[in-house]
C-alpha cells in the first residue's frame, strides 16, 4: 500500500485525505503544499479607525471572519489595563472592540447586522446597525445620551 501525503487547503491549512478535492470550509481546491501566506494587510492605528462593535471575544471573532469574507479588513483590540472599565480591571466577561477603516464603516455595519441575525435568530427583521435611538449601548449596555454618536464606556461608534 502506498502512503500518499495528505492534501492541504492553501487558505486555512486544514489537512485532508489524498482523495479529497475541495476544502469544506473555504470551498477552494486542495493541493499537496502548505498554505500560501497571504501578505498581512496593515491597518492604521486604532485612533484612526472606527469602533464597529464591542462584545465578548467569541462574538467579535465571528464578526471579524464575516467581515473578512466580505473583503473588509478589521482589527480586534482588548481593553487596556489602564482603562477604568470592568474589563480593564479584569472583572466580568472579556470583551474586545472590533475596528474598521472609516471608509468601510457603512458596509461593515451591514455585515454586522447580518451577522447579528445569524447569532440571534429571533432578532426583529427591522433591527440593524442604527442603534442611535437606543438609550443603552448595544456593545456594553452603558447608558447613552439621546444625541450620543459614540459610547463613552466602550467607544462603540453609532455612525453619527
Q: How far apart are CA 121 and CA 125, in angstroms?
A: 10
8 Å CB contact between 142 and 153: yes
8 Å CB contact between 9 and 23: yes
Q: How far apart are CA 36 and CA 75, in angstroms?
A: 22
Task: Report the SS3 class of residue 35.
Answer: coil
Residue with the larger pLDDT of the pair 8 and 102: 102
Q: What confidence tens digit (pLDDT) does each residue in 34-71 have?
A: 445 454 557 888 788 998 988 888 888 899 999 999 99
> Residue 82: phi, psi to the nearest 5?
-75, -10
What are the Cα distances from residue 133, in Å, to 3, 70, 110? Answer: 62, 27, 17
8 Å CB contact between 148 and 142: no
Q: Which residues contact 93 (CB under 8 A, 6 or more apart)?
A: 56, 87
8 Å CB contact between 126 and 107: no
Q: What confidence tens digit (pLDDT) does each residue in 27-36 have?
A: 888 876 644 5
Give 113's pLDDT tier (boundaries 50, 70, 90): confident
Note the pLDDT of residue 43.
81
> Residue 61: phi, psi to the nearest 5?
-65, -45
Does the pLDDT value for residue 146 go beyond 80?
Answer: no
Domain boundaries, the chain: 1-36, 44-160
Task: Please tell me the pTM assigned to this model.
Answer: 0.53
Q: What confidence tens digit (pLDDT) does each residue in 89-100 have?
A: 454 567 788 999
The per-residue b/e assignment along 95-114, b for 16 or more CB within 10 angstroms, e otherwise, is bbbbbbbeebbeebbebbee
Give 132's pLDDT tier (boundaries 50, 70, 90): very low
Amino acid at each position: 500500500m502506498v502512503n500518499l501525503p495528505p492534501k492541504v487547503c492553501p487558505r486555512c491549512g486544514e489537512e485532508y485525505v489524498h482523495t479529497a478535492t475541495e476544502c469544506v470550509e473555504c470551498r477552494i481546491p486542495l493541493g499537496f503544499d502548505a498554505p500560501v501566506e497571504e501578505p498581512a494587510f496593515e491597518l492604521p492605528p486604532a485612533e484612526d479607525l472606527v469602533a464597529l462593535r464591542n462584545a465578548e471575544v467569541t462574538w467579535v471573532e465571528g464578526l471579524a471572519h464575516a467581515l473578512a469574507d466580505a473583503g473588509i479588513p478589521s482589527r480586534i483590540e482588548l481593553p487596556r489595563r489602564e482603562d477604568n472599565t470592568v474589563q480593564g480591571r479584569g472583572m466580568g466577561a472579556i470583551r474586545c472592540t472590533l475596528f474598521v477603516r472609516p471608509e468601510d464603516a457603512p458596509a461593515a455595519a451591514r455585515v454586522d447586522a447580518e451577522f447579528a441575525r445569524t447569532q440571534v435568530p429571533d432578532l426583529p427583521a427591522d433591527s440593524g446597525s442604527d442603534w442611535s435611538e437606543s438609550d443603552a449601548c448595544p456593545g456594553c449596555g452603558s447608558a447613552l445620551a439621546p444625541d450620543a454618536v459614540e459610547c463613552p464606556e466602550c467607544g462603540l461608534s453609532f455612525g453619527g
